[in-house]
Amino acid sequence: MTRPYNFSAGPAAMPEAVLQQAAAEMLDWQGSGMGVMEMSHRGKEFMSIAATAEADLRELLAVPAHFRILFMQGGGLAENAIVPMNLSRGGVVDFVVTGSWSQKSAKEARKYAAANVVGSNEADHHTTLPSPAGWRLSSNAQYLHLCSNETIHGVEFHELPDLKALGSDAPLVIDFSSHVASRSVDWSRVGLAFGGAQKNLGPAGVTLVVVREDLLGHALSICPSAFDYKTVADNASMYNTPPTYSIYMAGLTFQWLKAQTEGALTGIAAMEAKNMAKARLLYDFIDGSGFYLNKVAKDCRSRMNIPFFLRDESRNDAFLAGAKAAGLLQLKGHKSVGGMRASIYNAMPLEGVQALVTYMRDFEQTQA
Amino acid sequence: MTRPYNFSAGPAAMPEAVLQQAAAEMLDWQGSGMGVMEMSHRGKEFMSIAATAEADLRELLAVPAHFRILFMQGGGLAENAIVPMNLSRGGVVDFVVTGSWSQKSAKEARKYAAANVVGSNEADHHTTLPSPAGWRLSSNAQYLHLCSNETIHGVEFHELPDLKALGSDAPLVIDFSSHVASRSVDWSRVGLAFGGAQKNLGPAGVTLVVVREDLLGHALSICPSAFDYKTVADNASMYNTPPTYSIYMAGLTFQWLKAQTEGALTGIAAMEAKNMAKARLLYDFIDGSGFYLNKVAKDCRSRMNIPFFLRDESRNDAFLAGAKAAGLLQLKGHKSVGGMRASIYNAMPLEGVQALVTYMRDFEQTQA
């Protein structure tokens, strides 16, 4: 039996092979006599699971040796506070606001630092991206924060800005929650990257932080020990009991990612090619239609989250009901934007996007 | 095939029936076409899972209506900061130090408040409990914190102190991480209770907080929004994406707990009777032996975590190797205490403790 295609923005569909392996190992991981949930995080079994997950992620994303990989808790919203508690030194921090997520990040940072908005697409209703050349960077910023893919508004930085070329030494902080591991990362431009797992990495409950070593050790005195990056790094993400099962599931997902191929490409490069093909298929169909509409500028459209509208919004309920009947789930748009949203993360196969396009074409015809 | 008995202190053994149901539903929860990990936390499927889990816990623990039940992230170590950020108002807070966990809690609280240690068992190496009558309570404390079961040292408050009877209006905060749901709670004596899930409730990654409503709304300005109890409560634990799968697993565990019976008893009362019988069996055997030793005073021995020693510690390695071969896992004591530790949480059946006692008796005889 084929499962329905699940377009949830997150928590989101996971690779079927990963779920199958997890189900098979639920009561006994590799002959240990324990399920993964039942293992002490200090035991050799779980230590090997965590170490393998970290090494696989480092290989997949080509994370350089001078970056630490941390598995934390609290998701992106907690990181909105944890980043400034660790990096701001109570000084000035810059934000580029490009949608709901970066907006929330800037607001939360004001509890700990003076947050300047140095670039924004609000005037365009978050359908464009402000060009880095126009950002009014603070001379004394401790870092610049941006959200490299806005899940709700569907805009993505296809290239990360080069702050050095803009005359700034501030480290770049990226919230890559909703497109992590969908493409490669240019770490030479990044100081810290964080992301909740529940889109592309695994189940909700584990947060990935990749941080340049020189940024550790500057937490404010009011930073909880459990969220002090240096404490977390010094304890290999086991200062407090880590979300062990979520890390295991992320590890299985990393193995699935490593096994991806597309022509001569493997791993993340293969995944990126697949993601580009999936996004192109859906955007091309929408752009060629007089019935559907995507409002995001073509040069910054997200490959992961594709918000779209029926030009006649009175047909929305019928569209969603028909989609569900056709095995296409969770297509309703975010309440702040309306319309529809197709989230097509790594785990969504091309066949799922093809099925969506077929349904959209058929629906349009029945409404003629 | 019988699985080995797993005495891990946490993450710990889970009920086999719970793991089996989770494995069976991994790819498709109740015909929804989605696994639980893949559901939007805003969708009706997961909302019903979370609401059922909360209602079942409220019923099991008889949580009064003026307490809120929160599902958070970060475990007990994060709560060590989150509690004072929410409740201390930057003033004075009292601590009773009875082992490693309360010690850590007091240390972390000093980041946010003036923490007084008003009672301690340090002089007795954490093998007794200080009598509440002797606590030197601060007149202006915002709360008094104690750890009602010390996982490492194996001491448990079998009765919670009545602070009102001691002349204090301060709310009592209990860290009940390692014995939550093993017995009933006298909520009339409690202001806030918190616990990581990974001993008695489910997988690591979700933290239970039960808090009296009048204590909400007083967070320090530097408290991250994601950890402000009022924000969490106002959003029904969905301000940030909750650890959905861990909540689901906890919910299955709550259903398993509700189905417990022991004679005429049901639910938590049945579980408590089983736990008392399990602990009695092991303590009685150790006390009757000249080969093994438990150092904790009899009136405050934990029913969950039973540290014990071989009087001849040169036999420790042989004991552990034999135990593993007999299907008795993770019995090594915490490094700070040494010796052995048997954690016999709710999911450990009486048969597991019987098997341990049989092994201990046999081992003693082979060493004669």
> Are B246 and B184 in the same domain?
yes
**CB atoms B81 and A196 under 8 Å:** no
Q: Which residues in chain B touch residue A44, judged by CB atoms under 8 angstroms apart? A: none
Q: Which residues in chain B touch residue A23, judged by CB atoms under 8 angstroms apart? A: 23-24, 26-27
Cα pseudo-dihedral A312, A317, A318, A319, rounded to 10: 70
Q: Is residue A248 part of a domain?
A: yes
Structure tokens at A303: 């490959």
Of A11, A241, A242, the CB nearest to B40: A11
Using the 3D structure, point to which of B226, B257, B288 is the last residue of a domain.
Answer: B257
Q: Is residue A62 part of a domain?
A: yes
Using the 3D structure, point to which of B233, B257, B281 is the last residue of a domain.
Answer: B257
**CB atoms B329 and A112 under 8 Å:** no
First to last CA, chain A: 33
For chain A, say whether B19 makes contact (Cβ under 8 Å): yes
Within 179-218 of B, beta carbons closer than 8 Å to A belong to: 196, 198, 202-206
CB–CB of A318/A291 below 8 Å? Answer: no
> Are B228 and B308 in the same domain?
no
- Domain with A278, as residue range(s), is 262-366
> Are A240 and A284 in the same domain?
no
Find, among A232, A8, A205, the residue nearest to B240 by Cα: A205
In the annotation, is B324 catalytic?
A: no
Q: Which residues in chain B touch residue A39, judged by CB atoms under 8 angstroms apart? A: 8, 11
> Are B213 and B65 in the same domain?
yes
| Residue entry with tokens 């417990």 | B260
What ipTM was assigned to the predicted interfaces of this complex?
A: 0.97
Minimum CA–CA partner of B204 in chain A? A243
First to last CA, chain B: 33
For chain B, say whether A4 makes contact (Cβ under 8 Å): yes
Find, among B181, B216, B209, B215, the residue nearest to B195 by Cα: B209
For chain A, residues with pLDDT lower than 50 are 1
> What is the pLDDT at residue B2?
73
With b for 16 or more beta-carbon neighbours within 10 A and e for fewer, the B71-97 pattern comes to bbbbbbbbbbbbbbbbbbeeebbbbbb
Q: Is residue A82 part of a domain?
A: yes
pTM of the model: 0.97
For A48-51, which contacts have Cβ atoms below 8 Å and span 24 or more sequence positions? A49/A244, A49/A247, A49/A248, A49/A251, A50/A236, A50/A237, A50/A238, A50/A242, A50/A244, A50/A247, A50/A251
CB–CB of B36/B249 below 8 Å? Answer: no
For chain B, say whether A109 makes contact (Cβ under 8 Å): no
**CB atoms A27 and B19 under 8 Å:** yes
For chain A, say whether B178 makes contact (Cβ under 8 Å): no
Using the 3D structure, point to which of A239, A257, A275 is the last residue of a domain.
Answer: A257
The count of structural domains within chain B is: 2
| Cis before A242 (ω within 30) | no
Q: Is residue B100 part of a domain?
A: yes
CB–CB of B245/A206 below 8 Å? Answer: no
Q: What backbone torsions phi and psi does residue B193 show, to the nearest 5 degrees?
A: -130, 140
Of B9, B14, B37, the CB nearest to A35: B14
For chain B, say whether A243 makes contact (Cβ under 8 Å): yes
CATH number of B313's domain: 3.90.1150.10
Q: Is residue A291 part of a domain?
A: yes
CB–CB of B207/B197 below 8 Å? Answer: yes
> Are B216 and B339 in the same domain?
no
For chain B, say whether A227 makes contact (Cβ under 8 Å): yes
> Are A175 and A59 in the same domain?
yes
Structure tokens at B43: 């969708």
CATH number of B237's domain: 3.40.640.10
In the annotation, is B187 catalytic?
A: no
Burial of A45 (0-12, 13-18, 19+ CB in 10 A): middle
**CB atoms B14 and A34 under 8 Å:** no
Number of neighbouring beta carbons within 10 Å of residue A319: 22
The DSSP symbol for B3 reads P
Q: How far is B365 from chain A (nearest CA, A)?
A: 27
Please tell me the distance from the alpha carbon of residue A278 to that of residue A273, in angstroms, as a whole number.
Answer: 9
DSSP E strands in chain A: the ranges are: 5-6, 67-72, 92-97, 114-120, 141-147, 149-150, 155-156, 172-175, 192-196, 207-212, 261-262, 265-266, 292-293, 305-310, 328-329, 340-343
E strand or H helix that includes residue A273: helix A267-287
Find, among A197, A350, A180, the residue nearest to A276 by Cα: A350
Q: Active site residue: B29, B175, B256, B332, which one?
A: B175
Helix runs in chain B, H state only: 16-24, 44-60, 75-87, 100-109, 229-234, 244-258, 267-287, 316-325, 350-366
CA A340 to chain centre: 19
Q: How far is A21 from chain B (nearest CA, A)?
A: 10
Q: Which residues in chain B touch residue A8, judged by CB atoms under 8 angstroms apart? A: 34, 38-40, 43
Rg of the Cα trace of chain B? Answer: 21
In the annotation, is B29 catalytic?
A: no
Of B4, B26, B203, the CB nearest to A22: B26
> Are B240 and B99 in the same domain?
yes
Structure tokens at A155: 């805009």
Q: Which residues in chain A touch residue B85, judged by CB atoms under 8 angstroms apart? A: 224
> What is the pLDDT at residue B148?
98
> Are B181 and B243 in the same domain?
yes
For chain A, say whether B108 makes contact (Cβ under 8 Å): yes
- As a 3-state breakdown, chain B gives helix, strand, coil percent values, each rounded to 5, of 40, 20, 40
Q: Is residue B194 part of a domain?
A: yes
DSSP A153-206: TTEE-SS---TGGGT--PPEEEE-TTTTTSS---GGG-SEEEEESTTTTSSTT-
Find, among B267, B240, B171, the residue nearest to B211 by Cα: B171
> Are B48 and B173 in the same domain?
yes
> Are B303 and B327 in the same domain?
yes
**pLDDT digits (tens), chain B, 368 positions:** 478 999 999 999 999 999 999 999 999 999 999 999 999 999 999 999 999 999 999 999 999 999 999 999 999 999 999 999 999 999 999 999 999 999 999 999 999 999 999 999 999 999 999 999 999 999 999 999 999 999 999 999 999 999 999 999 999 999 999 999 999 999 999 999 999 999 999 999 999 999 999 999 999 999 999 999 999 999 999 999 999 999 999 999 999 999 999 999 999 999 999 999 999 999 999 999 999 999 999 999 999 999 999 999 999 999 999 999 999 999 999 999 999 999 999 999 999 999 999 999 999 999 97
Angle at CA A351, nearest 5°, toward A346 and A356?
Answer: 95
> Are A216 and A321 in the same domain?
no
Q: Which residues in chain B touch residue A26, judged by CB atoms under 8 angstroms apart? A: 19-20, 22-23, 26
Q: Active site residue: A101, A228, A274, A332, which one?
A: A101
Angle at CA A236, nearest 5°, toward A235 and A242?
Answer: 95
| Cis before B130 (ω within 30) | no
Q: Active site residue: B29, B56, B101, B274, which one?
A: B101
For chain B, say whether A226 makes contact (Cβ under 8 Å): yes
E strand or H helix that includes residue B306: strand B305-310
With b for 16 or more beta-carbon neighbours within 10 A and e for fewer, the A266-291 pattern comes to ebbbbbbbbbeebbebbbebbeebeb
Minimum CA–CA partner of B332 in chain A? A43
> What is the pLDDT at residue A368?
76
How many helices (DSSP H) and strands (DSSP E) are in chain B? 9, 16
Q: Is residue B3 part of a domain?
A: no
Q: How far is A17 from chain B (nearest CA, A)?
A: 10
Q: Is residue A4 part of a domain?
A: no
For chain B, say whether A75 makes contact (Cβ under 8 Å): yes
> Are A183 and A299 in the same domain?
no
